[in-house]
A and B are shown apart, each in its own frame.
Chain A
Amino acid sequence: MGYLDGFAVTFRKIFKGAGDGETLTRNYIKDEGGKRDKPVRLHGRHVLNRYEDGMEKCIGCELCAGVCPAKCIYVRGADNPVDDPVSPGERYGFVYEINYLRCIHCDLCVEACPTEAITESKLFEFSFTNRRDAIYTKDELVVGDDGRPQQLPWEDWTDIEDVEDNTSAWMRATAPGGSAEFEGIVAWAGELGYGVRDAETGQSDEGANS
């Protein structure tokens, strides 16, 4: 019955059990095992990283703001105070704001950043209820003293144990030359709370380090 076979297939699917593995989607949060594992290169909300000694990596160069296709980043640089420098360089990010109503999480800012100051975490569940909350300021973006992202009241962090360490995985999974077949050469600075991190595997070695 060539034409009608499809109807039998879809009809049979109704009577499959709930947990027999045939259902491709699964419940959100509630299911056993919580949320699904995040891919290493998932683009979540940004963090502003710090060096191991607590200095901020951002030098206020505004390259991220320049490259941003959605024009969601606003940066103002300022000269470091001589007696109490914020970053190791000459200047630091005085104002740093990202408007998450505009951000498309393309990660171009991460690519543009010369000091690996801005990276993206795996946190993507932040549904704020007003426009003011959508603009993350520098105080909110910069990592805490333990090197972890700061949790804002409206952010959902139920699977934080799995993702909190992965704030710079994108950087560490691509060769400095841009090659997708990453060679494993460490070419990045240390981070507050983590030190110099190990290399992530590249795309050719999938699943080895997820």
Chain B
Amino acid sequence: MIFGVDPLLDGGIGWPEIQVVLLKVVLAFALLMISVMFMVWFERKIHADMTNRVGPNRAGPFGLLQTLADGIKLFFKEDLIPDKADRKVFLLAPYLSLIPAFLIFTVVPVGGDFTTTEKPGVVGILGQDTLLQIADPGIGILFVLAMSSVAVYGVMLAGWGSGSKYPLLGSVRASAQMVSYEAALGLSVAAVVLMTGTLSTRDMVIVQAGEGFAGFIPNWNVIVTGVVPFVIFLIAVTAELNRPPFDLVEAEQELVGGFHTEYSSIRFALFFLAEFMNVVTMSAIIVTLFFGGPAGPQWFGVVSGTIWFVSKLLVFLFVFSWFRATLPRFRYDQLMDMGWKALIPLSLAWLLLLAGINIGRDQGWNLGLVVAVGFAGVVLGWALLARAVGNHAHRRALEEANEAR
């Protein structure tokens, strides 16, 4: 069931159903575009505030229309295609990074009442029962991972198709980085899947809307999985999005503009759009995976779910801007070290620990003992890894010293 279990499609597909689907798609598209527009403005303002500047304030009230003005400017600029470019690939690449950004958002539940046990998250649009997400495939989160992998092609092909040195270097960096961090990303998602027992984004929200701890702490995955997968996911997603501090891809001092150096006009705008849209969609994914998505008390009537979702989303949009204003860029070897030697082993260990605890709970073992043994195992593994890494570094230093002599 690739199209998922939307109650809309239960009774066959007729004109009303198509209308609802079309309405949802168009609305999602428009809202996403507008939210990206304001995201760019929001980030520039926050970044300006944090670095003692004023920020955009000319176009529209508080500079709100600055992005629109920039977009119009880009749209009317001359569209250059370099002589040495591989034309087809060059033209294809921007869409390969933009369309996945859109598609990821289709599986994000953006509203609905998840406190009820019957038909959670279902709302009525045009007299039809439906979910406030475009699709709810049974493999929801795998779809997200797949699409974020496709986005790597956009970056890689943009660099390759430009027929120029710096874009190629930038795109090689980018794809190496995205592939490395995808592993940590996938493993931290696996932890969530393990604890919720589902791949569907909607079911994840339903699980997280359930009874929490001590009456007031919500049953969010960030707590259920023990914070670590969330931190790993946040770091890996920042790297995956090529956002600061992981923006070596477009390190101006070294690579001019990175993979999009040769792009101009509307094609550059597409990359720009994709980058910021990815920030919005990935924040939405974080909210869905770890913070219960639209789940929350129904204080504001029908729109409560959406209000919860948007406010949680805003927090993460702010966090990404905060990262950008605070952290200096990583060096390339530091980036790879962190991905392969820290994040991947840690997320793997945490996944095993969670799996152990789950099995222990099923079998009725002493939970304290399971946790203690698990942690001991993690610490032991960590020590071994640190020793192996240290040994290798030592050996390499010796070799280099020998060669120098």
Task: List the A side residues contacting B46 at CB < 8 Å.
Answer: 14
Cross-interface CB contact of A25 among B50, B53, B58, B325, cutoff 8 Å: B53
Given contacts A13-B49, A14-B46, A14-B49, contact A27 B54 (CB under 8 A): yes
- Does B57 have its Cβ within 8 Å of any Cβ on chain A? yes
Interface residues of B in 32-77 (CB under 8 A from A): 46, 49-54, 57-58
Q: How far is the CA of A6 from the CA of B53 in the complex (A)?
A: 17
- Cα separation A206 to B57 with both chains bound (whole Å): 33
- Tell me the residues in window 1-19 of chain A with beta carbons closer than 8 Å to chain B beta carbons: 6-7, 9-11, 13-14, 16
A10-B54 in contact (CB<8A):
no
Flag whether A76 is at the interface (Cβ < 8 A): no
Q: Which of B53, B57, B58, B322 contacts A10 (CB 8 A)?
A: B322
Closest to A7 in B: B326
Query: Of residues 80 to 104 in B, which have CB atoms within 8 Å of A's CB atoms?
Result: none
Asked whether any CB of chain B lies closer than 8 Å to the CB of A22, the reply is yes
B: number of interface residues (CB 8 Å): 13
- In the complex, A23 has a CB within 8 A of chain B: yes
Residue of B at shortest CB range from A8? B326
B52 touches A11 (CB 8 A): no
Contact A23 B57 (CB under 8 A): no
B214 part of interface (Cβ distance < 8 Å): no
The answer to the question of B327 belonging to the interface, with a C-beta cut-off of 8 Å to chain A, is yes
Instruction: List A residues 25-66 near B (Cβ within 8 Å).
Output: 25-28
Please indicate the chain A residues that have their CB under 8 angstroms from the CB of B58 in the complex: 28
Contacts of B51 in A (CB 8 A): 10, 13
Cross-chain contact A10 with B52 (CB below 8 angstroms): no
Segment 335-383 of B: residues with Cβ below 8 Å from A: none
- Tell me whether A24 and B53 are in contact (CB under 8 A): yes
- Of B52, B57, B327, which contacts A13 at CB under 8 A? B52
> Across the two chains, which residue of chain B brings its CB closest to A12?
B50
Residues of B within 8 A of A27 (CB): 54, 57
0/1 interface trace, chain B 300-343, chain A, CB 8 Å (1 if under): 00000000000000000000001001110000000000000000
Residues in A whose Cβ lies below 8 Å from that of B327: 6
Chain B residues positioned under 8 Å from A28 (CB to CB): 58
CA of A22 to CA of B49, assembled, Å:
10
In contact, A24 and B326 (Cβ under 8 angstroms): no
A14 to B58, CA, bound (A): 20
B326 proximity list for chain A (CB < 8 A): 6-7, 9-10
Query: Are A23 and B322 within 8 A (Cβ)?
Result: no
Q: Does B57 lie within 8 Å of A22, measured CB to CB?
A: no
Q: Which B residues are in CB contact (< 8 Å) with A22?
A: 52
Task: Give Cα distance in the complex from A199 to B57, angstroms.
Answer: 41
Tell me whether B50 and A14 are in contact (CB under 8 A). Answer: yes
- Could you tell me if A13 and B54 are in contact, using CB atoms closer than 8 angstroms? no
Q: Is the CB of B52 within 8 A of A26?
A: no
Of the candidates A10, A25, A28, the one having the most CB atoms from chain B within 10 angstroms of its own CB is A10
Query: B124 to chain A: closest CB distance in Å?
Result: 41
Bound-state CA distance A10–B46 (Å) is: 10
In the assembly, what is the distance between CA of A18 and CA of B299, in Å? 35
Which residue of chain A is the closest to B55 with respect to CB atoms?
A25
The distance in angstroms between the C-alpha atoms of A176 and B325, with both chains bound, is 47
Q: Are A23 and B52 in contact (CB under 8 A)?
A: yes
Q: How far is the CA of A28 from the CA of B322 in the complex (A)?
A: 26
CA gap between A13 and B326 in the complex, in Å:
11
Contact sample, A vs B, 22 pairs, CB 8 Å cutoff? A6-B327, A9-B326, A10-B322, A10-B325, A10-B326, A11-B50, A11-B322, A13-B49, A13-B50, A13-B52, A14-B46, A14-B49, A14-B50, A16-B52, A23-B52, A24-B52, A24-B53, A25-B52, A25-B53, A25-B54, A27-B54, A27-B57
Given A10-B326, A25-B52, A27-B54, 10 new contacts (CB under 8 A): A7-B322, A10-B50, A10-B325, A11-B50, A13-B50, A14-B50, A16-B52, A23-B52, A23-B54, A28-B58
| 5 nearest CB pairs, A to B | A10-B50, A10-B326, A25-B53, A24-B52, A6-B326
List A residues at the B interface (Cβ < 8 Å). Answer: 6-7, 9-11, 13-14, 16, 22-28
